Amino acid sequence: MTKSVQSLDESAGVTVDLLTKKVRVDSRADIGKIAAAIDEAGYPVTARSAA
Amino acid sequence: MDGRAVEQNFYISGMTCASCVARVEKALVDLRGVTDASVNLATEKATVRGTASPAEVIAVVDRAGYKATKVEDSSQRRAPARRQGVASWWPVLAAALLTAPLVAPMVAQLFGGDWMLPGWLQLVLATPVQFWLGARFYRAGWKAVRALSGNMDLLVAIGTSAAYGLSVYLLVAQPGHGMPHLYFESSAVVITLVLLGKWLESRAKLQTVEAISALEALRATEAIVRRNGKDFVVPVDEVCEGDLLVVRPGGRVPADGTVVEGCSHLDESLLTGESLPVTKKPGDRVTGGAVNAEGMLVVKATAVGAATMLSQIIKLVEDAQAVKAPIQRLVDRVSAVFVPVVLLISLVTLAGWGLATGDWQQALLNAVAVQVIACPCALGLATPTSIMVGTGVAARHGILIKDAEALETAHALDMVVFDKTGTLTEGKPKVVAIEGASPRRVLELAWAAQQYSDHPLAKAVAEAAIDQHLAPPSAVNACALPGRGVRADLDGVTVYLGNLRLMEELGAAIGALHQAAEIHEDNGRTVSYLAVEAGGQVRVEGLLAFGDRIKASAQSAVARLADMGLTSMMLSGDNKGAARSVAAALGIGHFVAEILPADKAQVVAETMQSGKMVGMVGDGINDAPALAAADVGFAMAGGADVAMHTAGITLMRGDPALVADAIDISHRTYRKIRQNLGWAFIYNAVGIPLAAFGLLNPMLAGAAMALSSVSVVGNALLLRRWEPAEAGKQAMSTHGAATPSLKGAKTTMYELTVEGMSCGHPLAA
């Protein structure tokens, strides 16, 4: 998942919390593109927000 | 009534134009015990302040010729508006059907046809239009006469009666002399068009209150309350403070509260204008009206009924729409003399034409045209409809404008003063560096000193201490030193944690830490010094550097204000270095650092003395005096309630871009008011002389009048298309070392919920 996000923005910071199923992404990329990249990696995004 | 001055709201029915407003207002103000009264034509509501009882108010309104009903509580305020909002359509249709045969021959005549109906048939068609469908004009006009004043209905009634009466006279007095020229079609067409105009206007007026209807639709009707482990569905009115409320996925949060169980996302877009759902976990505050997404939440109610944020927002928007803009007072003075002046002009027209030409028939028609074209309703609707649509559309985008005065002042601002922390920065600082001989000891003492404080810096210290697994401290005699720091006693020594000012006042030498502090401050961090007093000696033990994140939209917000011709200024209690760094990053030229909370209002007042119109943006309790001192205060919600109460404009999101949006909507609303008033004045100023000089026939005058009020309301409704500017969101950080990848990078923090993660794979995927 980190790779898929960093393929959009290599300087993106990605933190995954398996317990809460939350992924925090700090990036200059568009949230839509980030969600699409994670979706494509096989992990459906069910909610998103600006943190 | 017990003699206490109170504010009461009344529904006033029967008002048709600005003259009616003036009359009701005059009657109310003349009533003993009333200190102030304000009547709004668009909402058909009166706000009365003073000691008069509701019965007295209702009686005096009744004597003035209108009907008043007391508005009991805010949740019922709108109900009558919806019922009375749209005038029924059938009188318009009936009038049109009866009038069409009267007009058709005139059209045919243009093409050489001669379908002129016999006079008696014209009389049969015109009479019901005049006295049945047009009865409302006589009724309303008569009320005005009884109250020794005039209104639009009176003008319509006199004008159409004159045309109708003349036609009847001609029909009766000249039988047998072929077909006399009759004017039944004029009176019928005027009444039909005015009815049509009123109907269109009432439909449009209803759309102006749609913002409030949208907010009211957010109220939940039922709530699931958990009592003794069992869930009950109860009407939302029965929810009490402290109840545990179960909010199911897809459900609406019924009241304000705190999440005690569960995790989910809430859609608060209609309350805050924020389009993305917001994460909620135990401990987070939720607002009634928000829609729950995927998870189940258990919420402890903290505010119910009229105390909820949603009820307060609705009240704020309604009050804003009820209060008169200063410009409206001028319009009201004009309206008060409008009808008598028009009647006078009409009489002069009749006498002038009659005496000059001897053709009294034509003289009468010209006089009728004068009365029919004069339109006080466009004047009366110009300001309130613009304000209602403007405040309504602003509310939809998370900008609550408290009153028309704030709206009027905001468009003239020259300078916006921002409080730094929590307004331009996120106000959630983190400890990014600890300097001193023993950093661990410094952190331990710092935690001890401010463990009881809820200052953002104290929270940052506690977080850092817990991260480092320090033991909870046990300090005594902890107290805050406003604008300086904190003090507490621990193990026989007194610990001070605070800014440079505090250290100077204590006479503590900074020594070697000075250089480290300068470097941190130049990087935009806030520095707190830790000093220990033992045996009468105060010694600086170390320092903590805090980094705060600049809000994503702060830079573009300041740039937009500059584009709009406004100067920005920043106030901060922080050191000069931190303030300078933030100001430079945001492109703010003026800033005042190391300012005490009490001095903020002083700075605002001094800036105002230089002749500038100043807006102040803040969020904390300590910003309240400055918000009140400024020409317009902008309170950021999420901050202290008191800030919201003192500010003229409340921003429902902590997004500085909303300041420029609020000023923008204020500009646009004022432009609409000026356009509408200009149009209404010019329309009357051109139309009346044209009619007086015999250049308009009564039917054209009727059509013009019907169009003029519809166009005023329609123009105001164009404001609904307003959208806030899309700002380029940029995030900056002064966390420095703690978040190295962020420094200078223009990034945004997102949070996504992802399914299908069962093991550690995704991290490396």
CB contact under 8 A, B294 and A46: yes
Q: Give A31→chain B minimum CA distance, Å.
A: 7
Check pLDDT > 90 for residue B370: no
ipTM above 0.85, yes or no: yes
pLDDT for position B125: 93
Most confident of B31-45, B452-466, B600-614: B600-614
More confident residue, B573 or B96: B96
Distance CA B86, CA B636 (A): 37
Q: Give A5→chain B minimum CA distance, Å.
A: 10
Q: Which residues of B are catalytic?
A: 419
- A13 to chain B: which residues are within 8 Å by CB? 739, 741-742, 747
Check pLDDT > 90 for residue B614: yes
Q: Which residue, among B41, B709, B692, B131, has the nearest Cα to B366 in the 3D structure?
A: B692
Segment among B12-16, B36-40, B273-277 with least mean pLDDT: B273-277
∠ at Cα A17 (A15, A23), nearest 5°? Answer: 50
Most confident of B324-338, B551-565, B627-641, B751-765: B551-565
B435, β-bridge pairs = B543
Q: Give A12→chain B minimum CA distance, Å.
A: 8
Across B556-573, average pLDDT: 91
- B752 to chain A: which residues are within 8 Å by CB? 22-25, 34-35, 38, 45, 47-48
Q: Are B129 and B102 in contact (CB under 8 A)?
A: no
Distance CA B33, CA B305 (A): 31
- Segment B436-488, tens digit of pLDDT: 888 888 898 888 888 777 677 888 888 888 888 888 777 888 777 777 788 88
Could you give the 3-state DSSP secondary structure of residue B574? coil
- A47 to chain B: which residues are within 8 Å by CB? 265, 277, 293-294, 752-753
Q: Residue B531: phi, psi to the nearest 5?
A: -125, 150
Across B4-13, average pLDDT: 83
Among A4, A18, A49, the residue with its CB nearest the CB of B751 is A49
Distance CA B587, CA B424 (A): 12
Instruction: Tell me how crowded residue A20 is: count the other CB atoms within 10 A of its CB.
Output: 12
Check pLDDT > 60 for residue B4: yes
Distance CA B372, CA B189 (A): 11
More confident residue, B626 or B575: B626
- A23 to chain B: which residues are within 8 Å by CB? 751-754
Give the sign of the dihedral formed by CA B145, CA B147, CA B150, CA B153.
Answer: negative
Check pLDDT > 60 for residue B713: yes
Label residue B298 by pLDDT band (50, 70, 90): very high
- A34 to chain B: which residues are within 8 Å by CB? 750, 752
Among A20, A28, A45, the residue with its CB nearest the CB of B745 is A28
More confident residue, B378 or B354: B354
Average pLDDT of the residues of chain B = 81
Q: Does A19 touch chain B (CB under 8 A)?
A: no
The label of the residue with tokens 């003063």 reads B417
Label residue B731 by pLDDT band (50, 70, 90): very low
Check pLDDT > 60 for residue B404: yes
Across B609-635, average pLDDT: 85
Check pLDDT > 80 for residue B592: yes
- Segment B73-119, tens digit of pLDDT: 544 444 444 444 566 888 989 999 999 998 888 778 778 777 778 88
Segment among B36-40, B213-217, B524-528 with least mean pLDDT: B213-217
Mutate to test the interface with B, among A10, A19, A39, A48 (most CBs of B within 10 A): A48
The DSSP line for B730-749 is --EE--GGGSGGGTT---EE
Could you give the 3-state DSSP secondary structure of residue B104? helix
pLDDT for position B620: 67
By a Cβ cutoff of 8 Å, what residues of chain B touch chain A? 263, 265, 276-279, 293-294, 552, 739, 741-742, 745-757, 759-760, 762-765
Could you give the 3-state DSSP secondary structure of residue B481? strand
Q: Which residue, among B182, B162, B156, B163, has the nearest Cα to B171 in the 3D structure?
A: B182
Across B495-506, average pLDDT: 88
Check pLDDT > 60 for residue B734: no
Question: Would you give the DSSP letter of residue B421?
Answer: I
Across B48-57, average pLDDT: 89
Segment among B67-76, B141-150, B632-641 with least mean pLDDT: B67-76
- A42 to chain B: which residues are within 8 Å by CB? 756, 765
User: Which residue in chain A is spatially nearest to B267 when comparing CA positions?
Assistant: A49
Q: Does A6 touch chain B (CB under 8 A)?
A: no
Could you give the 3-state DSSP secondary structure of residue B358? coil
Q: Are B286 and B297 in contact (CB under 8 A)?
A: yes
Among B279, B742, B756, the residue with its CB nearest the CB of A26 is B742
**What is the radius of gyration, based on Cα positions, of chain B?**
34
Check pLDDT > 80 for residue B709: no
User: Which residue in chain B is spatially nearest to A45 when comparing CA positions?
Assistant: B754
- B765 to chain A: which residues are within 8 Å by CB? 1-4, 41-43
Label residue B762 by pLDDT band (50, 70, 90): very low
∠ at Cα B307 (B306, B310), nearest 5°? Answer: 75
Most confident of B173-187, B344-358, B416-430, B492-506: B344-358
Non-local (6+) Cβ contacts of B601 within 8 A are B625, B626, B628, B629
Can you list the alpha helix ranges (DSSP code H) found in B529-656?
554-563, 576-586, 599-609, 624-629, 641-646
Helices and strands of chain B, counted as H and E runs: 27, 29
pLDDT for position B454: 67
Q: Give A3→chain B minimum CA distance, Å.
A: 6
Q: Does A13 touch chain B (CB under 8 A)?
A: yes
Can you list the alpha helix ranges (DSSP code H) found in B209-288?
210-216, 269-272
**What is the radius of gyration, based on Cα positions, of chain A?**
10
Check pLDDT > 50 for residue B612: yes
pLDDT for position B175: 61
Question: Would you give the DSSP letter of residue B252?
Answer: B
Segment among B81-85, B128-132, B295-299 with least mean pLDDT: B81-85
- A21 to chain B: which residues are within 8 Å by CB? 753-755, 757
Check pLDDT > 60 for residue B763: no
Global pTM reads 0.66
Among B294, B745, B754, the residue with its CB nearest the CB of A43 is B754
Q: Are B433 and B736 in contact (CB under 8 A)?
A: yes
CB contact under 8 A, A43 and B757: yes
- A18 to chain B: which residues are within 8 Å by CB? 757, 759-760
Query: What percent helix, strand, coil does chain B show, rounded to 5?
Result: 50, 20, 30
CB contact under 8 A, A31 and B750: yes
Distance CA A9, CA B270 (A): 32
What is the identity of the amino acid at B138?
Y
pLDDT for position B758: 57
User: Which residue in chain A is spatially nearest to B265 when comparing CA positions?
Assistant: A47
Q: Does A33 touch chain B (CB under 8 A)?
A: no
CB contact under 8 A, A22 and B752: yes
CB contact under 8 A, A1 and B741: no
Task: Kindly compute the dihedral angle of the four CA atoms of residues B730, B284, B641, B212, in this order, to the nearest 10 degrees.
Answer: 80
Among B277, B552, B765, the residue with its CB nearest the CB of A4 is B765
Label residue B133 by pLDDT band (50, 70, 90): very high
- A2 to chain B: which residues are within 8 Å by CB? 763-765
User: Which residue in chain A is spatially nearest to B743 when comparing CA positions?
Assistant: A11
Check pLDDT > 80 for residue B747: no
Check pLDDT > 90 for residue A30: no
Q: Give B45→chain A minimum CA distance, Å.
A: 41
Among A1, A38, A46, the residue with its CB nearest the CB of B763 is A1
CB contact under 8 A, B762 and A44: no
Distance CA B163, CA A47 (A): 69
User: Which residue in chain A is spatially nearest to B762 when comparing CA positions?
Assistant: A1
